[in-house]
Amino acid sequence: MKKKIYLISTTLLAMAALFMSSCLKDPRYVDFSKAGNVVDFPLGGTSHFGADAITETPDTDANGTIIRQFAVNVATANKTTTPTKITLAIDTTLVAAYVAKDPTVSYVVLPADAYVFTTTDVTIPAGQSSAVVSITFYKNKLDPSKSYMLPIKIAGTSGGYTISGNMAIHYFHFIGNDFAGSYEHFYTRWNNADTTTAPSTPRGDQGPVTLLPVSPTEFIVQTGYYTTPNYDVTFTKTGTGASATYSNWAIQFLPADIAPGTTWATNITVVEPPQFRPLTLVFNPNTQYTFAQSLQLFRFYFKTASRAIIDDYQKN
């Protein structure tokens, strides 16, 4: 069966490498012509932590396979004239170190049988700036209620090159949120703030979006309206596995997205804040919903002074 491979856009990676090269002698940045060659992950480090979240819909095989690709980069003042050899390594001690600095999510080490990573020796050919490697995850071998992390670091290089101090680690991680992942987004708008009439923008497919996990019991996803603030959704999970239920569902706009001074706060008056508007269920925050029933809740409604909006998210 064909496996799904997810690459943090090769174009984006190439642009990152080009950016690094263009900055080498710019006085606003470190002059690597004096500091020597530097190796890094163009999209690594804590500054790109969010991009290392594994939220892709897995393959349909028994293991729930996900293949993530990433680039290894060498930044130089001039093109290299010899191959650059780089050693990568998994360092599980970095999990506890990360949690100690940010205990918001209690990550544990990804089990050894839930991934395959064999390309630990990477060679960037002479004259080139990067190479792409991959890691395979088996999502179905994980407990969805737990949050996992697998740090991969640059452990060594040939020629005594400098390893980046802040972009030499990929913190690949799974947040134990049962509802994170890919959904199809459907959007409907009424110009007269009255959903009993025909919509001015009939329900249309906006394509796939990702429900991004914030914690095991919180996720965010954008509305399709105007400045597209994120909905911030929280819930309580009871039990584990297939028998788990979900209650205390609550929804709001992500506060930072609508804070005073933002385009949203300046231009939009919300008459009715976000709320759940399922088609076949009667919403009650105290109800214990099954997983399948909870997915039906992801039809969100809000009303401004002149518009009514429904964002509908269906699991892919």
State which amino acid sits at residue 71. Answer: A
Q: What is the pLDDT of residues 289-316, one digit of tens each?
A: 999 999 999 999 999 998 999 999 999 8
* Strand 162-163, strand 121-124: pairing: unpaired
* Strand 107-109, strand 230-238: pairing: unpaired
State yes or no: pLDDT of 197 exceeds 50.
yes
pLDDT of residue 21: 42
Answer with the one of 120, 146, 174 that is the final residue of a domain: 174
| Cβ contact 269:305 at 8 Å | yes
Q: Which two tokens stand for residue 3?
A: 């496996």
Distance CA 79, CA 128 (A): 7
Give the chain's domain count: 2
Distances in whole angstroms, Cα of residue 83 to Cα of each of 40, 79, 127, 129, 134 = 16, 11, 8, 10, 20
pLDDT of residue 43: 92
- Same structural domain for residues 18 and 106? yes
Answer with the one of 139, 174, 209 that is the final residue of a domain: 174
State yes or no: pLDDT of 225 exceeds 90.
yes
Largest Cα–Cα separation, the chain? 70
State which amino acid sits at residue 26. Answer: D
pLDDT band, very low/low/confident/very high, at 193 (cuts 50, 70, 90)? low
For residue 122, which of 114, 112, 134 has the smallest C-alpha distance?
134
Q: What is the DSSP string of 132-162?
A: EEEEEEEGGGS-TTSEEEEEEEEEEEGGGPE
- Same structural domain for residues 96 and 150? yes
- Calculate the CA 123 to chain-centre distance: 28
**Which residues, listed in sequence order, are joined to residue 159 by a DSSP beta bridge?**
none
The length of the chain in residues reads 316
Distance CA 225, CA 268 (A): 11
- Same structural domain for residues 95 and 111? yes
Q: What is the pLDDT of residues 227-240, one digit of tens each?
A: 899 999 999 999 87
Range of the domain at 154: 5-174
Mean pLDDT taken over the chain: 87
Low-confidence winner among 82-96, 206-220, 255-269 (lowest mean pLDDT): 206-220
pLDDT of residue 73: 95
Q: What is the pLDDT of residues 96-151, one digit of tens each?
A: 999 999 988 889 999 999 999 998 999 999 999 999 999 999 998 998 778 999 99
- Same structural domain for residues 94 and 202? no
pTM (2 decimals)? 0.61
| Mean pLDDT computed over 153-157 | 96
Edge-to-edge strand ranges of the sheet holding 308-315: 245-253, 230-238, 218-222, 201-215, 181-190, 308-315, 299-304, 270-276
The dihedral through the CA atoms of 133, 138, 139, 143 has a sign that is: negative
Distance CA 64, CA 46 (A): 27
| Cβ contact 145:216 at 8 Å | yes
We report the CATH number of the domain holding residue 154 as: 2.60.40.1740
